[in-house]
Structure 1
């Protein structure tokens, strides 16, 4: 029996039709971001090990694929084993997100960049995840970031560009939940959680969508978290909705969803974002969620997440991370970003193939002269059309089905005397069911 030959676990091959669809969708995302003033950059797939493990990437650092040093001798391996420090063998690593490389990129090229830099990065990243539906070890991220803008204009532009992209892609039913890390910590303080409990409590609260309010309270009690604070949180859960079903971004509605006096500056900022988007007529739904956490520890202010009613996981997210770039530069630089989870949205999108351009398969006999086929093909290409030559088979149906699945829209049978494109009768292809 032949040994199965497949891609590494958690990684995938893409057949031509799948690859074509992915590139067309990425083209829509790129063009929409560009229309909103963002410039695309590219960074290496590897970064220095120490930079990837500097505490900037949160739990994702534990999932990094490390690259072993070149030229290691047996004595080096033995020394690393003796110290029980396998990381001593690595000096590079595959990037696990695009934010850490962006921070390094900005620190490297700051002098050549505008004062407020609007960046696009669309590229693969790698994490040693446990593969499952919607979660892979190699996947594409679509990031936009604004560096150098401390005010809410950054959040407004990111939200506007993201909502426009979702709309252009035809992703109906999406909405963006929004919160602020300052509100989260203010809520925990108001309930009486100790400062050294905040991180642990937020890890549990981040499971709210999966385990419900009862599950969150049970886990906090099992951890031995401050009992009075847990009681106060439980009472709050009973008194108010925590599912962000329809809480618009106004100062009144946001403040009403919180304990009195929590993070007034953050409340005002969120309300201003909501007012600005509404006034500008931006299409899309934004709702306030007082228990949106986002797992990344580097977020310092506003955070957002894309949700869809048909899925339990988010389709993207981001937030403000003002403290990250300063780790490289030695001075603080405001930054905010938003990422669309490309692998999670690609299957939800109707293929934007074509955009009015015909794709033609020229079906020819085995004996057809190559120079005549090339001349015919060139005439169609010169018209701006996509063309493929296919040798005729006994049963045409499978050939035409494969062509339609690859995005071709028309076909023509090349007769013995055809020398001009206008001599051919083009017929429409229908996609196989």
Structure 2
């Protein structure tokens, strides 16, 4: 029986050409973020299990990979009531929880308003499918310490700039506000203890359709039609179409938003009125699954894709859980694995990469001396034993990024080499 040599399910290897593309895209994203004043930090790949399961990560907590404690005994295994009783650490499932812990740890060393970049892999025990993996890269920017809408505008502008530099002009950002959603639920008569379940159902609108969402809410004893009418009327008001909202009234003389606090719509109206370099669209049904969001929420969409390519929002309460005092924060994450397939960047114009094709009789120390001299002169150099099929070898080298080659024979020096371009 052959040994299994594939990577674990939901995880991938990347060949050199694929890795070069990924790194090129990451460099563009980093540069855009840095130009907008964000600074990159790094956090450990593991966090305390208790922190990862403190109710801050929403449904993603259920997908966290746990790290078992060292030195477990048989008695420990028998005494454990749940698998997490055996774990003291876990792989991070996003970059927001580690950032909150980081800010709490280093608050005294950070500026009052801190703009952070985090670009790193995260892990979730997902069911692998198209665009969804168990290990994947996230590209986050966050602003901590700014309570006003200026923070939202900054992260949206930096995101729009990054997408423009990547050559993805059709991307747009759907926005909503958690406070609007909660007010809509209350207005539609949804009890507080059913808010989470109702939002989960509303989030299925693209899959179930309006009738399916209304029916599922009905199975919970809720008036799904009234909730959807409320959300429709909110959309019309944000779009300055109050006459449409009035026309949708369930009863003559009433409106779906009678008694609704329309002042809650001002933050999203202010966002929509700003020029952030990317198209913004209000979507009253946008939910975002994370329960830690407290204000505006975002989702990056593309017309060619059935799923989002990023998202985020304001989460004013999270850092305070670690810090012991409230600290406002807002952030957005690019879904790199979904994004990279949309990108077609031109090849970077770098220096020469010279392949040294060594004769069989060339001593390794002799070849290394030539390589070191070329590297010291600023060249990128690879060493390769010469084969009979030189044409095929050069084709392979060119595919891997080599631009020039030189034959190396016994007694050659770096100065004496005839370096030729690979045609």
Range of TM-score over shorter length: 0.7 to 0.9
2:9 touches 2:128 (CA, 8 Å); kept in 1? yes
Go from structure 1 to structure 2 and tell me whether the alpha carbon gap of 1:134 and 1:71 turns closer, same or farther (over 3 Å shift): same
What does 1:7-22 align with in structure 2 at a 5 Å threshold? Answer: 7-22=7-22
Alignment of 1:150-161 (within 5 A): 150-161=147-158
Give the alignment of 1:203-242 within 5 angstroms.
203-225=200-222, 227=223, 230-235=224-229
User: What pairs up with 1:251-266 in 2 under 5 angstroms?
Assistant: 252-253=239-240, 260=257, 262-266=260-264
Distance in 2, matches of 1:108 and 1:396, equals 58
Local SS of the residue matching 1:132: coil
| From 268, 290, 300, the counterpart of 2:284 | 290
Please, what TM-score do these two structures have when normalized by structure 1?
0.86
Instruction: Tell whether 2:48 aligns with 1:48.
Output: yes
Q: Do 1:48 and 1:92's aligned partners in 2 also have CA atoms closer than 8 Å?
A: yes
Whether the aligned pair in 2 keeps the contact of 1:146 and 1:154 (CA below 8 Å) is yes
- What does residue 272 of structure 1 align with? 270
Question: Is 2:407 aligned against 1:414?
Answer: yes
Following superposition, the deviation at residue 399 of structure 1 comes to 2.8
Quick check: 2:116–2:141 contact (8 Å CA) kept in 1?
A: yes
- Secondary structure of 2:72's partner? coil
Contact 2:358 2:384 in 1 (8 A): yes
Match in the other structure for 2:383:
389
Q: Tell me the residue number matched to 1:322.
A: 316
SS at structure 1 position matched to 2:318: coil
The alpha-carbon deviation at position 186 of structure 1 amounts to 2.2
Which residue number corresponds to residue 333 of structure 1?
327
Partners of 1:61 and 1:415 in 2: how far apart?
57
**CA 1:291/1:257 → structure 2, altered by over 3 Å: closer, same or farther?**
farther
Matched, 1:68 2:100: no
SS in 1 for 2:120: strand
Identify if the C-alpha distance between structure 1 residues 389 and 198 changes in structure 2 by more than 3 Å, giving closer, same or farther.
Answer: same
1:325 partner SS = helix
1:77 and 2:77 correspond? yes
1:208 shift after superposition: 1.3
Q: Is the 8 Å Cα contact of residues 24 and 352 (structure 1) preserved in structure 2?
A: no
Displacement of 1:332 in angstroms is 1.1
Matches within 5 A, 1:109-258: 109-225=106-222, 227=223, 230-235=224-229, 252-253=239-240
1: CA distance between counterparts of 2:345 and 2:358? 29
Distance 2:421 2:376 in 1: 20
Kindly indicate whether the alpha-carbon contact (under 8 Å) linking 1:123 and 1:140 is maintained by their aligned counterparts in 2: yes
Residue aligning to 1:97: 94
Distance (whole Å) between structure 2 residues aligned to residue 76 and residue 85 of structure 1: 11
How many residues matched? 411
> Where do 5+ consecutive residues of structure 2 fail to align?
246-255
What's the Cα RMSD here?
A: 2.8
Q: Once the two structures are superposed, what CA deviation does each residue of 1:286-323 show, in whole Å capped at 9, x if it has no partner? A: 11111111011100000001111121111000000001
CA deviation after TM superposition for structure 1 residue 169, in Å: 1.4
Q: Normalising by structure 2, what TM-score?
A: 0.88
How far did 1:64 drift? 1.1
CA 1:396–1:90 in structure 2 vs 1: closer, same or farther (change >3 Å)? same
Q: Give the structure 2 partner of residue 361 of structure 1.
A: 355
2: distance between equivalents of 1:179 and 1:134?
A: 24
Q: Distance in 1 between matches of 2:122 and 2:397?
A: 31
- Taking the aligned partners of 1:255 and 1:373, their CA distance within structure 2 comes to 78
Preserved contact between residue 21 and residue 352 of structure 1 (Cα < 8 Å):
no
Check conservation: 2:144, 2:328, Cα contact below 8 A. Answer: yes
Is contact 1:37–1:118 with CA below 8 Å preserved after alignment? yes
Please identify, of 188-197 and 140-149, the stretch whose mean Cα deviation from structure 2 is larger. 188-197
| Residue 117 of structure 1, CA deviation | 0.7
**SS of alignment partner, residue 363 of structure 1:** strand
Check the 8 A contact 1:155/1:336 in 2, yes or no.
yes
Question: Structure 1 residues 36-45 or 313-322, which shifts more?
Answer: 36-45
CA distance in 1, matches of 2:273, 2:396: 50
Tell me the distance in 2 between the aligned counterparts of 1:76 and 1:127: 26
Secondary structure of the residue that 1:114 maps to in structure 2?
A: coil
Change (3 A) 1:18 1:181: same
The 1:49–1:232 alpha-carbon spacing in structure 2 relative to 1, beyond 3 Å, is same
